[in-house]
Amino acid sequence: MSESQASWVYSDLVKEHFLSPRNFLMGDEANFPHDTSGTVGNPICGDQMTMYLQIKDNKIVDVRWKTYGCASAIASTSALSELVKGRSLDEALQIGPAEITEFLGGLPKHKFHCSVLGHEALAAAVKAYRAK
């Protein structure tokens, strides 16, 4: 095993989602018409996440997100953004950090909190949508 492989503690799927994140919003959010958004932050690590949702008939039809975060936060939110598409709001909210981590093949214990950030941003976006 090379030194670079030994220092990478994530699964291949985490690496894939980190290096090629799905549904990441490049540029201005005005370029992605959305029905709601939610922003959360983690004061422990300094990460911040915003999720933007397009909703039709109580289902998430599309999603984009932005973050200031680490590899785990990026990969977790990328995976979550794929998992919630086409689901009802209630179904999407059932996909929590444990399910995201399992889908990715695991995260180091000290990085589990990063999978919470995307889920919290999703929950904040849904809450804002329902408050309208």
Residues acting as catalytic residues? 45, 114
Question: Residue 56, class by beta-carbon neighbours within 10 Å (0-12 exposed, 13-18 middle, 19+ buried)?
Answer: exposed
Beta bridge pairs of residue 67: 49
3-state SS class at 25: coil
Identify the sign of the CA torsion 56, 57, 60, 66.
positive
Decide: 82 and 23 in contact? Cβ < 8 Å: yes
